[in-house]
Chain A
Amino acid sequence: MIIRAHDDRFDVIVVGGGHAGCEAALAAARMGARTALLTMEEDKIAQMSCNPAIGGIAKGHLVKEIDALGGEMGRNTDKTGIQFRMLNTRNGPAVRSLRAQCDKKQYRLAMQATLREQPDLTIYRGTVDRIETVGGRVSGVVTGAGARLAATAVILTTGTFLKGLIHVGLNHFPAGRAGEDAAEHLSDCMREFGFEVGRLKTGTPPRLDRDTIAFSVLTPQPGDDPPSPFSFRTERIPMPQVCCHLTYTNAETHRIIQDNLDRSPMFTGVIEGTGPRYCPSIEDKVVRFADKPRHQIFIEPEGLDTHEFYPNGISTSLPVDVQAAFLKTIPGLERARMLKPGYAVEYDYIPPRQLHPTMETKRVEGLFHAGQINGTSGYEEAAAQGLMAGINAVLKIRGQAPCILDRSEAYIGVLIDDLITKDAREPYRMFTSRAEYRLLLRQDNADLRLTDTGYRLGLIPESGYRMFCEKRDAIARERERFRTIRPKQTSEFLARAEALGLQSLGAAITLEGLLRRPELDYEAVIGLAAVEGHPDAAVREQVEIQAKYEGYIHRQSHDVDNFKRLESRRIPPDFDYTSVKGFSREVLEKLQRVRPHSLGQASRIEGVTPAAISLLQVSLERSRRNAA
């Protein structure tokens, strides 16, 4: 629904139509808030600005969690994905992660259709120059065209557009993405509010013409067959599935890059922003790991009917002629034509320790930040924040308790807590190793962890919730069956056990006991005991994982109990840290800088000692009693 009347008043205005903005706007509108999404270009809503893939290790977890909470990213990926691969299958279930190549154009169009069909959601075209406030509370936005839109809550999801500056070689020009204007004024407005503003950098590789790539010499990399979906509510992957390809750089590629470093904005100091270490440019990799003979490049299609291919692994900001020269040295790309050059983009971000765990800023009530504006990178990280900002904006308007996921509940909780607690020195990306309760936060149980929350918020439809409840009950029943059935150890049983190399099975061993044996999986136990298996693969998987990893899961659950205790001790936002006697100057400075919301968060600030937490705890109790 597109209305262009400028005298509207909204509950929630979302500024920016990227992955964070889409989730924020959908969540707010689905919860019944009158919502507006402001974008510079409607056709670019849900654009995948960089690579054509959703998910990947740890990012796939985020997508599954977004889905379980009633977000859109997983479903949209399932609708438009053209290759699905489960990564990390050689490691255990906790770190398995789904990654999908999408048809970029279809992804964008499908998401745009979902937004248009959403009741209570209006899409506006325009740039936001200023945020308006009344008495420290957000009251609306002013567009570049001078129009005022009033709102109770505003969510900024501006991506790389705040004073975006694109670098190709030693040339640079203001732009949010290639060919799109930057937002030049909004970050000045943020500075005026007193926000600290920082600068980051990211990059993207050149795009190649399909017809000029020699696929026959590349290593094919097929997807999973059958593909598994992201969404717990998806039954079928509709798009035709395609193959990706793999090639490598070589000594000649590296020589050309080395010879032209004096024309790199990175190595000549033209770029000031910090780039991500996990996503370095090819020139960075060649310099830092000079002894590595080759670097891998995935050749990924950007869609089914587009000529654009994405060479994943050679992000660069070298001049166009150097990009063309080094491409020619790579097997399969000798004749490749560049459709767009690679580039680096620098942009303003607002360091996220200035946020509450709800994504609301501490400085301006009712103003929320989500996505790259918080210094993160990645579609999935952005979408997760957008979803939580949308949810909490509505809860705030309604005067209800916020929805804060903690580190033991979801990767989303880890993400937000890291953002508001730590001083990131580079764009933040999720890794499974950031989650200390990783064994509990699996992609396979994201629905079990979060669907109740999504349903309570009104983001999961009745039908989806009923399906979920049935699955949860089926898992419980199957586990109970495995705990109680003790297979009769007939001579046939013992013969089968011996064939499997099993020794010393207790006479009263249950199916679950068998499942715990390292040699056996679910199917093997069913075969050995000659009993029926459960028809639903998802149920079988849960029963197997929960039994096999019970010891580890139990230990981590115990750690979570301890974690929750400190987490539940809230620190009032106006608490006076200088009133606490005995803090070292360093501890005092850090606590005042971060202003943690709980004792738990305080304990995670670098340099805050256990003794300091004890002092803080006693002082909090003292001020609580003083107030009473």
Chain B
Amino acid sequence: MNAGDTICAVATPPGEGGIGIIRLSGEKSIDIASAVFVGSGGRTVRDYKTHTLHHGELRAPDTGERIDEVLVAVMKAPRSYTCEDVVEFHCHGGPLVLRLGLEVLIRSGARLAEPGEFTKRAFLNGRLDLAQAEAVIDLIQARSQTGLRVALEQLRGALSDELGRIREGLTRLLVEIEAGIDFSDEGITFISPKALAAGVGKVAERVDRLIRTAEDGRIVREGVTVALVGRPNVGKSSLLNALARADRAIVTPIPGTTRDVLEEFVNVRGIPVRLQDTAGLREAQDVVEREGVRRTHDALARAELVLAVLDGSAPLDPEDRRTLELLQEKSAVLVVNKADLPPRVEPADLKGFVEPRRIVWTSATTGAGLDELRDAIRDTVLRQGLEPSEGVLITHLRHRSALERAKTSLDQALVSIQQHMAAECIAADLRVAINAIGEIIGETTTDDILDRIFKEFCIGK
């Protein structure tokens, strides 16, 4: 909303695409872009002429971590869409890279653009003519409404409750501090620094927990890829069908029936999972099988979780052992299938390959153990082990950056309390945090605080 800020957003439609563009506009565009981009030949965005395109890497300035190989386009004011300094990063498409790119820009001082804000700036700065004003208004309106709807959907349930509790916790502390400032001559005892530090610490911890669930939030929103691997005929396709509850893969008792990588989108405990059935890792007999094995290796490399499947009714063979060895490297769950048949695999045989809680005994035929398998997938994928249905997941970058701002201020408050800084400084930090939370769930004003003080304390001479 503030014309002077530098704003950023993804400028291409959401979803998987060949190229995704992140756009940056405002006074500090060139500075911010210089901080996150290293051109081939070591040059920075500051060195580039306007309206030129350069190759290089997008990096996190704090860690130096490379995010993507990108092309950067520099368009200096006033010859740009918004008539401000604009820098665009052309990244490889894919939500993950674009999200990481935005995060880096926000951490370097940009702000996520409001709905329709680039176009609004273009109009306000005289780039668009009067005839287009109506279209600008429609755009702002439509985007705000969509944004609002999405935000409301995300805020339903437990997340909203948790944010409400955080805000209430902060408000209560602020009420104490403010009462102690504005009514210090009323003969009332207010909160001690020690209790204040404890209170702020507790809320900061809750905010932190929410931020840590952000990664889980991404998984819940964007999903994960899970690969099924194991020698032929252990029942991978049956498992896939059982999880998907559809006869998608061709299931026959003949080894090697699954020649290609089959995939199915299934919902596992609220998480969208792209489940890939692979051809397995056997010594290939022919060209077709060799190709299948190569694709299996590719699929394993891409997968965020591997389901290694054994036939529990047959003794372990060399290919099973190759599969088990894979488990050391990847995040994995070991599935011992065909539990309905007389067992030939003992838990002792599996010792050392994977933790016991990551072993699930199933029968794709009877459906036994499938619920446990679903739980195991969820628990392995979500680091925080939270129930997605609880909804306490931050799935939106805007929310996450607001939470991070809140956390920074609360940390500052804790340092200041320790240094015996004035109460009004601590109050300033708490207000930043409350406003940041307020951005997610709705505004708070100073009048709320005064209302609370008058309700809770006997004020007045």
Contacts and interface: CB of A to CB of B under 8 A. Distances in A.
B124 A278 contact: no
A280 B460 CA distance: 6
Chain A contact-residue range equals 35 or more
B4 A292 contact: no
Given A277-B454, A614-B140, A617-B124, A518 B419 contact: yes
A87 B447 CA distance: 23
Contacts of B419: 518
A433 B422 contact: no
Contacts of A556: 428
B422 A618 contact: no
B161 to A, nearest CB: 23
Contact of B130 (A296, A581, A622): A622
B16 interface: no
B413 to A, nearest CB: 11
Interface in B403-461: 419-425, 427-428, 431, 445-447, 449-450, 454, 458-461
A18 to B, nearest CB: 21
B338 interface: no
Interface string B1-21: 111110000000000000000
B140 A278 contact: no
Interface stretch (B43-51, B177-185, B267-275, B321-329): B177-185
A626 interface: yes
A92 B425 contact: yes
Contact of A91 (B123, B133, B141, B423): B423
Interface string B186-212: 110000000000000000000000000
Given A57-B181, A432-B181, A93 B420 contact: no
Contact of A561 (B4, B431, B450): B4
Given A296-B187, A615-B141, A433 B178 contact: yes
B375 interface: no
Given A91-B184, A298-B461, A433-B182, A621 B5 contact: no
A552 B422 CA distance: 11
B84 interface: no
B361 to A, nearest CB: 54
B141 A582 contact: yes
Given A57-B184, A312-B461, A619 B424 contact: no
A52 B140 CA distance: 55
Interface stretch (A224-232, A492-500, A605-613): A605-613
Main secondary structure of the interface of A (DSSP, over half): mixed
Contacts of B425: 92, 439, 549, 552
Contacts of A431: 182, 450
A23 B431 CA distance: 35
A95 B177 CA distance: 12
A16 to B, nearest CB: 26
A297, A549, A603 pick with most chain B CB within 10 angstroms: A549
Contacts of A581: 134, 137-138, 141
A443 B431 CA distance: 21
B130 A278 contact: no
B73 interface: no
Given A296-B187, A431-B450, A439 B428 contact: yes
A94 to B, nearest CB: 5
B182 A436 contact: no
A326 B115 CA distance: 62
A449 interface: no
A544 to B, nearest CB: 12
B365 interface: no
B181 A88 contact: yes
A621 B123 contact: yes
A294 B3 CA distance: 53
Given A614-B1, A614-B114, A94 B422 contact: yes
B130 A625 contact: yes
Given A87-B184, A611-B115, A617-B120, A566 B1 contact: yes
24 contacts: A57-B185, A88-B181, A88-B184, A91-B181, A92-B421, A93-B422, A95-B423, A292-B458, A432-B181, A432-B182, A433-B449, A434-B446, A436-B431, A438-B427, A439-B428, A518-B420, A518-B421, A555-B428, A556-B428, A582-B141, A606-B445, A614-B114, A618-B137, A619-B133
Task: List the 4 shortest-distance A-B pairs measured between CB atoms, nearest first.
Answer: A92-B422, A611-B144, A518-B419, A289-B458
Interface of A: 56-58, 87-88, 90-95, 276-280, 285, 288-289, 292, 295-298, 312-313, 422, 431-434, 436, 438-439, 518, 549, 552, 555-556, 561-562, 565-566, 580-582, 603, 606, 609-611, 613-615, 617-619, 621-622, 625-626
Given A95-B424, A439-B425, 15 more contacts: A91-B423, A92-B425, A278-B454, A298-B461, A518-B421, A552-B428, A580-B137, A581-B141, A606-B445, A613-B1, A615-B140, A618-B137, A619-B133, A621-B124, A622-B130
